[in-house]
Amino acid sequence: MTHDVLAAWFGVDRSTITRAVGEIRPLLAERGCRVPGGVRLPTLADVVAYLDHVRAAALMDATEIRVRRPRAGRAGRQRFVSGKSRTNAIKTLVLSDTQGRLLFCGATVPGSTADITQARQAGLTHWLAHTAGVRILADAGYQGLGAQTGGQVITPTLRHHKKALERLPGIAELRTAQRREHARRRVRVEHAIAHLKNWRSLTRHLGRRDSLDTTIRAVAGLLSDHQHTDRGKPIAAITAM
């Protein structure tokens, strides 16, 4: 819904709607994602502590959101060019539980940043160093975090060279089966990202790049509320709660 339409509905000026959205968005972003019991996790440190407390596994991935390209001649213009999609983007870190419900979404970085670098800059390795029972499934973009975190970040099995596999009959099939099983267990975080991208502002962000981080975290908090809503209850019962 555009600000012009909202202004017409409420009978106010468009600038009033824009100012109200600008004031509410940071408040929503600071709430964090919801987990069972009504607890909210605003930071990555809170997510790691929660996983360690409940002894639950999590799924991790990064997603890119297209943004406007900085104007010509501006310093750092190439920082937002993604090496994967070859577009100007901002990357955000996403963690979900094994059912695909959001736990964390944020730690935004320019699109040129590698996935593993983003996780390190967000402090994931630091917080995992203070735990022992956390297990996070990630894709091949996080190869190396497993050794750095004592096996708490689990990545898919490495592919071996074809000639090496020829000397080890059956290994190729075993490793292929392991990678498929890992992908099957990790696919839920892809579903969580798909639900995030249902919001138009996260398919392609046309506003200011420095406001995207709060937008992402605000949307993630609203989506996590929706994921924990009992859809079997009547609307009147939910309203009464």
Residue-wise pLDDT tens digits, 132-161:
889 999 998 898 888 888 889 999 877 666
pLDDT at 20: 92
Where does the pLDDT of residue 203 fall: very low under 50, low under 70, confident under 90, or very high at 90 and above? confident
Does the pLDDT at position 237 exceed 80?
no
Q: Can you tell me whether residue 120 is helix, strand or coil?
A: helix
pLDDT at 165: 58
Does the pLDDT at position 73 exceed 90?
no
pLDDT at 233: 58
Where does the pLDDT of residue 227 fall: very low under 50, low under 70, confident under 90, or very high at 90 and above? confident
| Average of per-residue pLDDT across 8-18 | 93
Joined tokens for residue 133? 């029972």
Joined tokens for residue 88? 């100007």
Joined tokens for residue 215? 């937008």
| Average of per-residue pLDDT across 35-55 | 91
Q: What is the pTM of this model?
A: 0.84
Does the pLDDT at position 236 exceed 60?
no
CA dist 204 and 95 (Å) reads 21
Tell me: the pLDDT tens digits for 167-177? 666 677 777 88
CA dist 77 and 80 (Å) reads 7
CA dist 227 and 217 (Å) reads 15
Where does the pLDDT of residue 67 fall: very low under 50, low under 70, confident under 90, or very high at 90 and above? confident
**Under 8 Å CB-to-CB from 191, ≥6 apart: which residues?**
100
Task: Single out the residue of 95, 79, 78 nearest to residue 43, CA to CA.
Answer: 95
Average pLDDT, the chain: 85
pLDDT at 164: 58
Phi, psi of 110 (to 5 degrees): -60, 155
